[in-house]
Amino acid sequence: MRIISYNLNGIRAALNKGFLDWLKTDPADIICIQETKAQKENVTHQQFNDIGYHDYWYSAQKKGYSGVAVLTRIKPDNVVYGTGHQMSDDEGRVLQLDFGPVRLINAYFPSGTSGDLRQTFKYEWLDEFFVYLNNLKKKYPKLILCGDYNIAHKEIDIHDPKGNKNSSGFLPDERAWMDKFYSNGWIDTFRHFHPEPHRYSWWSQRFPSVRLQNKGWRIDYINATDPLKTNLKSAEIYPDVKHSDHCPVFLELSI
């Protein structure tokens, strides 16, 4: 099973930049998309079906905002929309699919960059989601959680840790949440295979040169629970794929 997680920063904009042509190269069996910024009916989604993907969408109530989707060549056994947490579900942040014994969760974590109100919401969301995941693991021990976490975990995951120590996405409490998350039975699948520095998945659009200079953050992850450790085969980040300010992250595992 080959999985890609990709924040498209607007699926319609990505389609205008060649996203469909890239899909035709068969980059993965399952493509988890965050920040669709669209309702399903706003996109000619038949074009995904025509090239062999089933498509599932969970959009925000607010049009043009947030939203997640999954394109998959493997038909899921079951699809779960949201988590039952209204503030999260109203923003279309979590979509879950079952493939045999594995539950795949596609999540778009909140950003706190717009100010204190959203940073507070982010902390509330993280706390609620942590409890939700813990409960879910009791029923589904084999979990994969992919998405834009909007957190760079360690200094190796950000180009300028000192300069960003007060930036949302690299705050001590956010990083502590990641520590708690990984110490609670989760594997950073990219770091499982790649201990090297300077591997990022997002670059600021405010300064176009930063992507050329690779001054980025690693905030996109595909993480798996410990029972899947022996199933992990390879992981990668694809910075040369450019339909967004993010790039795809990849995991291959045997099921």
CA 141 to chain centre: 20
For 4-21, how does the pLDDT look when each residue is reduced to its tens digit (9 = 90+)? Answer: 999 999 999 999 999 999
Residue with tokens 């300064």: 207
Does the structure show a pLDDT above 90 at 25? yes
Q: Among 127, 148, 226, 245, which one carries the catalytic annotation?
A: 148
Does the structure show a pLDDT above 90 at 208? no
pLDDT of residue 206: 87
Q: Which tokens belong to 212? A: 């050329």
CA angle (152, 220, 182) in 5-degree steps: 60
The answer to whether 50 is a known catalytic residue is no
pLDDT of residue 23: 98
Beta strands in the chain (DSSP E): 2-7, 30-34, 54-58, 68-72, 78-81, 94-99, 102-108, 143-148, 186-188, 220-225, 232-237, 249-253
Prediction pTM value: 0.98
pLDDT of residue 59: 98
Domains of the chain: 2-253 (3.60.10.10)
